Amino acid sequence: MGKQINIFGEVEEAPTFFDENYENIKKGFDGENEVRDLLKRKNIHFLQVDVMFEWDGKYYCGEIKTQEKATPEKYYGLPFEGHGLPPWQVKARIKLYERTGIIPYLFVRCLTDNVIYHGDLRELMQTKYYEFIKTPRIVFNLEEFKKEPLGPEYNK
């Protein structure tokens, strides 16, 4: 939030939303973890949703990743630069779509080039992607994503 001057004329750092609400945020995280633990104990499979949204009259279930770009230099055998996620997440979101019509969507906040890559997982699965077996991961070509550059405030 920046610096501010207190009532004594001293410069101090203003508290952030997180600082002021830490206890309530922590209680919320703890409650969410307790419910997930309950579901696990009862052997109930669940899909954690990062974001649900409605756009153009349709509902979407979004997975959000924050990661560095996968490159051929870092990952032997990868034929392109890309981003991805574990196969089980792709399969679970596709299954949700098949049962409900809620569209599976992937957002990636790229730490390498300050871009948000995004796309419909149904469409991305129709493209040429690369699947790692040893460390299970499906990586989609950057060329297949829509791109939204982040503003200068994210260039840190």
Residue 83 belongs to domain with CATH number: 3.40.1350
pLDDT computed for residue 92 by the predictor: 93
The Cβ of residue 80 has, within 10 Å, a number of other Cβ atoms equal to: 16
What domain range includes position 33?
Answer: 3-41
In the chain, the number of structural domains is 2
pLDDT per residue over 114-127, tens digit each? 899 999 999 999 99
In a domain, residue 69? The reply is yes
What confidence tier does 155 reach under pLDDT thresholds 50, 70, 90? low
Both 30 and 107 in one domain: the answer is no
Both 30 and 102 in one domain: the answer is no
pLDDT per residue over 52-86, tens digit each? 999 999 999 999 999 999 999 988 889 999 999 99
Q: What is the pTM of this model?
A: 0.78
pLDDT per residue over 91-107, tens digit each? 999 999 999 999 999 99
What confidence tier does 8 reach under pLDDT thresholds 50, 70, 90? low
Q: Output the DSSP codes for 128-141.
A: -EEEETTTTEEEEE
Percent over 90 (pLDDT), the chain: 65
Both 86 and 148 in one domain: the answer is yes
Q: Helix or strand or coil: residue 88?
A: helix
Both 89 and 149 in one domain: the answer is yes
Instruction: Return mean pLDDT, the chain.
Output: 88
pLDDT computed for residue 2 by the predictor: 59
Distance separating alpha carbons of residues 147 and 114, to the nearest angstrom: 10
In a domain, residue 46? The reply is no
Both 13 and 80 in one domain: the answer is no
